[in-house]
Amino acid sequence: MKKIVAANVIALCLAATSIAAPPSRIVSLAPNITEILYDLGLGGRIVAVTDYCDYPPAVKEKPRVGGFTNPSLEAVVGARPDLVILTDDGLATGATMQAAVNAVRAQQPAQVVVAVPTAAPDTCDMLAEQVDRIVCLMTPEPFGGVGAWYEDFSQMTDDEVRGILEEAQAQRIGRHG
């Protein structure tokens, strides 16, 4: 369920970006983002990925920028992204996301977007001042913690995620013929 939410957040984020032209140079800083971008047919726009991105097989040919928490800023800059999307399962204090935003923003991409399914309202407000766009599907009060807003917050396997993405793609094809 949480990966379907993440896919919807990223699709909404891509559809609602405010730059003049659709992004053509995307650096993906998390495996789930990479997989979702490929599922949306945007794999050709990905110019770099993290060391942990291994699916779909075509991603193995993409340049690497390091890990999610410690990307090589030189590699990110070298990829010349016009869009960087940062995501998480949700944001409580936002401290980790703020550190990621600061590291990416220092490299001056055209647009930095944060996409999350749930967050504390104050955290969304704080991050909205630091990024070009924040997409947050719900900001409940009182927030409590990220896991409280999921029916099931257990870890998913890669095979489960792939199955959900394949099912979502099949439903999309069925609706659009």
Number of domains composing the chain = 1
Tens-place pLDDT, residues 63-96: 999 887 678 878 887 888 887 778 888 888 889 8
Q: What is the CATH number of the domain that holds 119?
A: 3.40.50.2020
Residue 85 domain boundaries: 2-176
Tens-place pLDDT, residues 116-146: 888 989 999 999 999 999 998 888 888 878 7
Residue 94, sorted as left (phi over 0), alpha (psi -120 to 50) or beta, turns out to be: left
| Cβ atoms of 107 and 77 closer than 8 Å | yes
Please name the residue that has the structure tokens 């990024």.
131
How would you write the chain as a 3-class SS string?
A: CHHHHHHHHHHHHHHCCCCCCCCCCEEECCHHHHHHHHHCCCHHHEEEECCCCCCCHHHHHCCECECCCCECHHHHHHCCCCEEEEECCCECCCHHHHHHHHHHHCCCCCCEEEEEEEECHHHHHHHHCCCCEEEEEECCCCCCCHHHHCCCCCCCCHHHHHHHHHHHHHHHHHHHC
Angle between the N-to-C axes of helices 158-176 and 2-15, in degrees from 0 to 180, rounded to the nearest 10: 50
- Label residue 176 by pLDDT band (50, 70, 90): low
pTM score of the predicted model: 0.60
